[in-house]
């Protein structure tokens, strides 16, 4: 396994993508635990959600990818790799029915522990209309480091997107598993004027020591539906589903 991948930013264009986002769209945020290629239930599960939940934007962490389109031709994707094993890459992946205007992949400043991998971060922009742009930040935050390193990484995230004036979604596995980390996440929300989606069935959100790890943060949009989807048996995290109105 290579901890600094040979290719950081991966991209695939959809064949039949929409030019702009619709007025109402659904997001899925999910740490798939490297199961999106290997687990036989993943593809039918996602295809079912694409139809039943009208998924438009999918944000995955710990995804496996290798240059092909994302399940259906109507989706393009961008991905940021933090691991490479044989010919496969792993990291955060954002798939959408509208192709990104731009996308940038980053690695964390610090590694996981002394000998572990960096974590990857993906910043993508999408056209909501001719005048309005949506910024999407897909995060898998650093885990096995001290709180000060975690705070530094979140500050770096904020600095990368603070110049954007329009709607924004910041989502992923934040690894906010103690009081200090949760406070740093709140600082990020305040710095970027982000609201936090609060799910009714919070007990189904992946947590550690009583602190949830996965979050969907947003601004400049209206949250009209939300759900933690269970009973999939694919990953140790449950996917978060949110419908936004532009």
Residue 43 belongs to a domain with what CATH number? 3.60.10.10
Among the listed ranges 33-37, 58-62, 96-100, 117-121, which one has the minimum average pLDDT value? 33-37
Binned at pLDDT 50, 70 and 90, residue 3 comes out as confident
pLDDT at 185: 97
| Mean pLDDT value across residues 136-158 | 95
Distance of CA 202 to the CA centre of its chain: 19
pLDDT band at 154 (very low <50, low <70, confident <90, very high): very high
The least confident of 29-33, 65-69, 161-165, 166-170 is 65-69
Position 23 scores a pLDDT of 96
Residue 219 belongs to a domain: yes
pLDDT (0 to 100) of residue 87: 85
* Residue 105 covered by a domain: yes
Do the strands 118-127 and 102-111 form a parallel or antiparallel pair, or are they unpaired? Answer: antiparallel
Q: Give the domain extent around 19.
A: 9-245
Residue 74 has pLDDT above 90, yes or no: no
Over the stretch 82-140, which tens digit does the pLDDT of each residue have? 999 988 999 999 999 999 999 999 999 999 887 789 999 999 999 999 999 999 999 99
pLDDT at 71 over 70: no
The fraction of the chain above a pLDDT of 70, given in percent, is 98
Q: Which is nearest to 140 in space by CA: 124, 157, 126, 125? A: 157
pLDDT at 22 over 90: yes
Considering the domain boundaries, does residue 223 fall inside one? yes
Location of structure tokens 């982000």: 194
User: Cα separation of 128 and 63, whole Å?
Assistant: 26
Q: What does the pLDDT look like over 172-220, one tens digit per residue? A: 999 999 999 999 999 999 999 999 999 987 789 999 989 999 999 999 9
Start-to-end CA span in the chain (Å): 42
Q: What are phi and psi of 24, to 5 degrees?
A: -130, 130
E strands, 34-151, are 55-65, 76-85, 88-96, 102-111, 118-127, 133-140
Assigned domain for 2 exists: no
- Number of structural domains found in the chain: 1
* Domain membership flag for residue 4: no
Average pLDDT in the 6-18 region?
90
> In this predicted structure, what is the pLDDT of residue 69?
61
């Amino acid at each position: 396994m290579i901890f600094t991948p040979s290719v950081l930013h991966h991209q695939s264009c959809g064949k039949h993508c929409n030019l702009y986002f619709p007025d109402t769209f659904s997001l899925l945020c999910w740490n798939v635990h490297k199961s999106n290629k290997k687990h036989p239930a993943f593809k039918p599960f996602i295809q079912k959600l694409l139809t039943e939940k009208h998924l438009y934007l999918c944000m995955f962490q710990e995804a496996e990818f290798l240059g092909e389109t994302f399940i259906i031709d109507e989706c393009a994707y961008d991905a940021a790799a933090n691991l490479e094993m044989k010919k496969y890459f792993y990291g955060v992946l954002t798939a959408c029915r509208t192709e990104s205007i731009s996308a940038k992949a980053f690695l964390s400043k610090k590694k996981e522990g002394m000998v572990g991998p960096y974590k990857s971060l993906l910043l993508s922009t999408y056209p909501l209309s001719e005048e309005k742009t949506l910024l999407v930040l897909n995060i898998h935050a650093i885990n096995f480091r001290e709180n000060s390193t975690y705070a530094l990484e979140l500050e770096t995230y904020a600095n990368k997107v603070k110049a954007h004036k329009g709607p924004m979604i910041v989502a992923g596995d934040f690894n906010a598993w103690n009081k200090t980390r949760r406070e740093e996440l709140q600082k990020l929300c305040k710095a970027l004027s982000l609201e936090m989606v609060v799910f009714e069935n919070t007990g189904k959100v992946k947590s550690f020591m009583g602190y949830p790890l996965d979050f969907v943060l947003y601004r400049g949009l209206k949250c009209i539906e939300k759900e933690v989807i269970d009973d999939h048996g694919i990953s140790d995290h449950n996917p978060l589903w949110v419908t936004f109105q532009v």
